Amino acid sequence: MIRHHPVDAVPITPEGNFWFGYYDKFPWNASGRHHLAMRAGFIDRQPGVEDAIDIGLIDTANGNAWTKLAETTAWSWQQGTMLQWLPSDPDRKIIYNIRDGDDFRAEIRDVETGETRQLPRAVYAVSDTHALCLNFARLHITRPGYGYPDGTGGRTDEFHPADEGVWKMDLATGECELIISLERLAGIEHKDEMDIAPMWVNHLTWSPGGTNFVFLNRWFRKHPRRPFSDRFYRATADGCDLRKVHDNGYFSHFAYRDETHLLGHARKPDGEDDYLMFDLMGDPGFEVIGGDVFDCDGHCNFAPGGRWFVTDTYPDAEDMRTLMLYDMETGTRVDIGRFHSPPELEGPLRCDLHPRWSRDGRMLSIDSAHEGCRRIYTLDVSAITGA
């Protein structure tokens, strides 16, 4: 069943080019007062090496006042600078990526004192104690719009090297270890198409409790529908117990529901694409979720508790994107808004909604350019979810 319950989208940033980034992180701090944001001086091209963006806070208890905290030149339109609250201190410390000459590193900042501390590698996903890292220079070449330009290690003449892949970094000491190499991944049920172009990893994500993580392994292929192929993996925190969860050519956006269950938009054996629920530790297989109400991919994200998830769509024939909720208990989809997507912002420049939950499950935060510039909007969905 599909219901329509429009919810006001309230801008919390002034006119300008503000956004938060990806859909799998909390933009609000632990108290719910401060919302993280980035600000750019343009929206119509890819960033260059010297293009800096501002990192700052929106004070929702003080008229949405904006405070700039830092600058960085290590960023992309789709995922920003991996800006997020530090899980070990989510009320006052943030982490984000920076450029240091030809290298990319991470910086931890106390938003109250301004004290900073650098780490030797740029981060992708962060748990209480460790970060998962990848080569953002390689990612910039293989997946424009996600990596950072002109960094060390951007060479792609080796298709699946032994010294690239998934890195694990200790947030206290900065100690780094390559725990899953591209060479190792290419050796798992190797396919000839893996030897015609570079391989990479993307979308590293810790489980809520940090006991395991998941990621996409991709490589280019000659295919009219999709230029690269996907494999989806789960690994234990040390990278030793590696399990291939899905290998059918297409796996897109995903979200943990709890420590061992994950929802992803993926291809079934019959060739159709649906939202599928996987048990990452149990028997292989999947359960189709919302097969009668969803017909396209979106950025899915579970509210605390796991009953509701939010997702969105890409622009339709009228350049409109739909924002919607789904109730896992009743199987009901609730459409809460439609937003125009400027057609000139396409490909790596696009401004996806990337919906994110507040920590109490009452609010959503989205990025959108329907008013002609990138802005952050919030929506109170508590009347629908009962949060």
Q: What is the CATH number of the domain that holds 165?
A: 2.130.10.10
| Residue among 169, 54, 52 at smallest CA distance from 117 | 169
| Distance (Å, whole) CA 350 – CA 327 | 28
Helices and strands, number each (H, E), in the chain: 3, 29
Assigned token pair, 252 = 């897109």
Find the domain containing 224 and state its range.
2-385
Under a CB-based contact definition with an 8 Å cutoff, are residues 6 and 336 in contact? yes
| Distance (Å, whole) CA 186 – CA 188 | 6
State if pTM tops 0.85. yes
Whether the per-residue pLDDT at 114 is higher than 80: the answer is yes
Whether the per-residue pLDDT at 224 is higher than 70: the answer is no
Q: Which of 67-71, 96-100, 322-326, 346-350 is least confident?
A: 346-350
| Distance (Å, whole) CA 97 – CA 80 | 9
| Residue among 275, 266, 329 at smallest CA distance from 301 | 275
Give residue 342's pLDDT band: very low, low, confident or very high (50, 70, 90).
Answer: very high
| Residue among 243, 173, 185, 249 at smallest CA distance from 213 | 243
Domain count, the chain: 1
Q: What is the pLDDT of residue 190?
A: 95
Helix or strand holding residue 184 (H, E): helix 182-186
Under a CB-based contact definition with an 8 Å cutoff, are residues 24 and 216 in contact? no
